[in-house]
Structures are given as C-alpha cells and as structure tokens.
Amino acid sequence: MNCLILGGAGFIGSNLTDALLKLGHHVRVFDRLNVNTSNLTTALPRIELIRGDFLNDSDIACALKDIELVVHLISTTLPKSSNDNPIYDVESNVVGTLKLLDLSRQQGVKKVVFLSSGGTVYGPSVACPISETAATDPVCSYGISKLAIEKYLHLHHHMNNLDYVVLRVANPFGERQNPGSGQGVITAFLWKLLQNEPISIWGDGTVARDYIYISDLVSAILAAIEKETCSKLFNIGSGVPCSLNELLSIMQGVTGRTPVIQYTPGRKLDVPVNFLDITRARDEILWQPLVSLEDGIARTWTWLQHHKSDFE
Ligand SMILES: NC(=O)c1ccc[n+]([C@@H]2O[C@H](COP(=O)([O-])OP(=O)(O)OC[C@H]3O[C@@H](n4cnc5c(N)ncnc54)[C@H](O)[C@@H]3O)[C@@H](O)[C@H]2O)c1
C-alpha cells in the first residue's frame, strides 16, 4: 500500500515508518523543511522523504499524489501551552487538517488514521477507566482541536465516504522520544537520571496516568490500518494507572540510580487519576499492549544511554 506519514520524522512517525517498511508497504514521509532526520537514518534509503509545511496547500497536494493511506501525526501545539494561543491552535491544526481532508478527497485517498489524545479530550471530571462513550469536556485548546478534527473526519466520511480511524492515545514513551519535547514524563525523568539531575514533581507524586510503550502504540496503529471496523474511534493505552512515585521506583530498579526528587505544590490542572478503558480496541481491532512498564522503561533507558550526545 502507498502510505503517507505526516510528521513521519518524529517520535511516533519514525517508529511507525520502520514497522510499515517491514510489512512491505511503500512509505512516503512528510515533515518540516528543517527537520532533523536522525530518527529515519535506517529507513531513509527505502522511503520517499518530502519536506514542506503542513500549512502549505501545494506541499500537501504534492505529498498526497498516488497515496492510499494517510497517517496524520502532525500537531503544531502541545497540551500544556495550547491555551496560550488558541487561535493559532485552531488555524494550524483544525484548518490545516480540513484542507488536508479536502485534498485527500480530491486525490482519491482511501483512509486517514488520526492520532487524537486520550489524556485531554475527556476532561478532568470523568470516571476511570474512561471509555470512548464518556463525555468529552477538554480544558485545553489542544484537546478541543483534537476533538474538532475527530468530528470533521466523521463529517468527511459521512459526506464523501473517506474512511478514517481515530486513536485516542494515552501517554506514549520509548525510543526516539525527545526528552526535551515537553511531552513524555518517562523519557524526561530518565533523562534527568542520566544527567544526575534532580527530578521535580508537582504535588506528592500520587498523580496516576496511563503509559503505553511505543511498540504497542505502533501495533495499534497497524491494527487500525488493517482492520475494517464499524467503530471509528478507539482508546489506546495500557488500561492501567501508574503513579509518578511508582514510576520513579521502577526507574530506580531499572537504572540502579536513586532519583533526587523535589516535590513542589500541585497544579490545579493535574487530575489525580486518568486511565483508559481499552476494551473496544481489544474486541474490535484485536489489539492489546504486550510490553510491561518495566521492560519499556529498560528499553528506553538503553536507547537514551546510546543517544545521550544527541540531546546534550
Ligand atoms: N507523544 C505524545 O505524548 C502523544 C500523545 C497523544 C497523541 N499524540 C499525537 O501523536 C502525534 C505525533 O506525536 P509525536 O510525539 O510523534 O510528535 P513529534 O513532535 O515527535 O512528531 C511530530 C512531527 O511533526 C512535524 N511537524 C510539526 N509541525 C509541522 C508542520 N507545520 N509541517 C510539517 N511537519 C510538521 C515535526 O517536525 C515532527 O517531526 C501528534 O499529533 C500528537 O498530538 C502524541
């Protein structure tokens, strides 16, 4: 299949690219003009790399030529800073995706896979484990934009028969996640341990989240690509909560290093517990996470040690 990975040089996109190549697909990666392609080093000889801007219609039209499947992994904002400029968030992510969908329809794309956010679309007051049918009340612009894009995918399917799948992803971590990206507490904490720097925690460390290792997320994306399903929306996580204190204790066991922790006053925006119900993905796309938190952390630690100089 001819696949276009938008944002394919990033953390999730580069890992997905390797997996699609292994399965024999033709992969075209679209990413920024000035993007660092070190994540794609092994894939580069076997992919088409198109550099451009997601917000430039002609760049996207060129990237879509002869494409059957689009995996949309571009986000121009982060959850924690998206409220600083919601207009930019909507103009770049929502309007940008609307243009992408229109061009995809014109160019005969068959299916779009979109990565939404299980951590932000539901909002703070929903009961855990959170199922796909729970109310959606995001309290950051990033979550609102993700939700708006989900709805427009549904509209395009309804009007133009463009197939799609939305994955509401928990907190992915693993190889190729940039420890300074502002997303990914596990990789950021491991980086602090590697640098022998103290780790700051808001609150008392009991805040619990759902963490998913990158190879499990990639296998979920592959299942969503391959399976024909009635449902178009799936939660993707471990389905299990883990507190920051538990994470640090696992990291101590894996790395043999004792973290120096600085506890600071809790933030209002951090809900105590958030984890996803992944029953629908288990039942309908026959997917389940396979890598334990300990193994995932150990693999990420090994990778960070080998790539220390990339981030210094
Ligand atoms: N990492 C997470 O914690 C997480 C959790 C849930 C959902 N997601 C979603 O998954 C997707 C991928 O996340 P990631 O962690 O791989 O991010 P990433 O930042 O590692 O990769 C995104 C890629 O998109 C590219 N990009 C950004 N703006 C662009 C533009 N205007 N034009 C061209 N390329 C552009 C970047 O250069 C980067 O290579 C995003 O949509 C994100 O919202 C991520």
The CATH code of the domain that includes 246 is 3.90.25.10
> 183 lies in a domain?
yes
Is any ligand 1 atom within 6 A of the Cβ of residue 172? yes
Is any ligand 1 atom within 6 A of the Cβ of residue 115? yes
**Residues 270, 189 within the same domain:** yes
Is any ligand 1 atom within 6 A of the Cβ of residue 187? no
**Residues 22, 160 within the same domain:** yes
What are the distances in angstroms from CA 195 to CA 106, 185, 255? Answer: 50, 15, 12
Residues whose CB is less than 8 angstroms from the CB of residue 191 and which lie 6 or more positions away in sequence, other chains included: 179, 180, 304, 311
Calculate mean pLDDT across residues 55-82. Answer: 96
**Relative orientation angle of helices 141-160 and 96-106, to the nearest 10 degrees:** 20
**Residues 105, 162 within the same domain:** yes
Question: pLDDT band at residue 269, thresholds of 50, 70 and 90?
Answer: low
Domain count, the chain: 2
| Percent over 90 (pLDDT), the chain | 91
Peptide bond into 172 cis (omega under 30): no
Question: Which pLDDT belongs to residue 183?
Answer: 86
Calculate mean pLDDT across residues 258-283. Answer: 90
> 283 lies in a domain?
no
Residues whose CB is less than 8 angstroms from the CB of residue 251 and which lie 6 or more positions away in sequence, other chains included: 186, 189, 190, 193, 257, 259, 297, 301
Q: Which of 4, 12, 76, 275 to mutate to test the pocket of ligand 1 (most atoms within 8 A of CB)?
A: 12
- The rounded distance, in Å, linking the Cα atoms of 273 and 197 is 27
Give pLDDT tens digits for 14-42: 999 999 999 999 999 999 999 999 999 99
Name 113's bridge partners.
71, 165
User: Could you tell me the pTM of the whole model?
Assistant: 0.97
Calculate mean pLDDT across residues 267-272. Answer: 76
Q: Distance, CA 260 to ligand 1 centroid (Å)?
A: 30
152 included as an active-site residue: no
CATH number at residue 82: 3.40.50.720
Calculate mean pLDDT across residues 150-171. Answer: 97
> 254 lies in a domain?
yes
* Tokens 């940008």 found at: 96
Question: Which pLDDT belongs to residue 125?
Answer: 80
**Residues 294, 226 within the same domain:** no
Q: Distance, CA 7 to ligand 1 centroid (Å)?
A: 6
**Residues 230, 206 within the same domain:** no
**Residues 136, 244 within the same domain:** no
Q: Which of 31, 147, 276 to mutate to test the pocket of ligand 1 (most atoms within 8 A of CB)?
A: 31
| Percent over 70 (pLDDT), the chain | 99
Question: pLDDT band at residue 309, thresholds of 50, 70 and 90?
Answer: confident
Nearest to 110 by CA among 156, 155, 177, 150: 156
> 66 lies in a domain?
yes
Q: Which amino acid is at 203?
A: G
Residues whose CB is less than 8 angstroms from the CB of residue 201 and which lie 6 or more positions away in sequence, other chains included: 244, 261, 262, 263, 264
Instruction: Reply yes or no on whether the pLDDT at 312 is more than 90.
Output: no
Question: 168, 277 in Cβ contact below 8 A?
Answer: no
Question: Which pLDDT belongs to residue 181?
Answer: 86
Give pLDDT tens digits for 191-249: 999 999 999 999 999 999 999 999 999 999 999 999 988 999 999 999 999 999 999 99
Question: 29, 190 in Cβ contact below 8 A?
Answer: no
**Lowest mean pLDDT segment, chosen from 48-57, 68-77, 174-183:** 174-183
Question: Which pLDDT belongs to residue 184?
Answer: 94
**Residues 134, 115 within the same domain:** yes
Give the active site residue among 88, 122, 142, 263: 142
Is any ligand 1 atom within 6 A of the Cβ of residue 75? yes
Is any ligand 1 atom within 6 A of the Cβ of residue 189? no
- The rounded distance, in Å, linking the Cα atoms of 176 and 173 is 9
Tokens matching residue 42: 């092994």
Domain that holds residue 16: 2-171+211-236
Is any ligand 1 atom within 6 A of the Cβ of residue 17? no
Mean pLDDT of the chain: 96
Q: Give the burial class of 2: count Cβ atoms within 10 A of its Cβ; 0-12 exposed, 13-18 middle, 19 or more buried.
A: middle
Q: Parallel, antiparallel, or unpaired for β 111-117 and 199-202?
A: unpaired
Tokens matching residue 308: 């220390």
